Amino acid sequence: MTDSEFHQLADLIFEQLEEALDNHDGEIDYEGEGGLLKLNFENGSQMIINKQEPLHQIWLATKFDGHHFEYRDSQWVDIRTGNEFFSFLQQVIEKQSGEHLTLS
């Protein structure tokens, strides 16, 4: 994968996530800047999602632990668990904040 391909795929993830957050009726605020997206929850906790260009990965930091996602077989998957990005993020947002955010 080239750097350009990585940025196109990663930017699409960020755009889809921001759209879901904009359409969400709950209490999740977010700030995005330069390949980093910070989710702020009503309970005071945060999650950080950022692009790791040198590794062609997306990293997710939760209050529980961190996860690294690579693009494989047309989806972003956790390199340790094999979990798909959006389904995993949906689960961990609910676990950390109690909010249900629909992602696809």
For residue 104, is it within any domain?
no
For residue 103, is it within any domain?
no
Phi, psi (rounded to 5 degrees) for 70: -120, 155
For residue 57, is it within any domain?
yes
Q: What total number of domains does the chain contain?
A: 1
Yes or no: say if 63 and 50 are a contact pair by the CB < 8 Å rule: no
What's the CATH code of the domain at 55? 3.30.920.10
For residue 8, is it within any domain?
yes
Cα distance between residue 69 and residue 75, in whole Å: 9
State which residues form the domain around 91.
3-97
Q: CA nearest 28: which of 104, 103, 100?
A: 100
Tell me how crowded residue 68 is: count the other CB atoms within 10 A of its CB. Answer: 14
30-77 pLDDT, tens digit per residue, is: 998 888 999 999 999 999 999 999 999 999 999 999 999 999 999 999
**What pTM did the predictor assign?**
0.91
For residue 66, is it within any domain?
yes
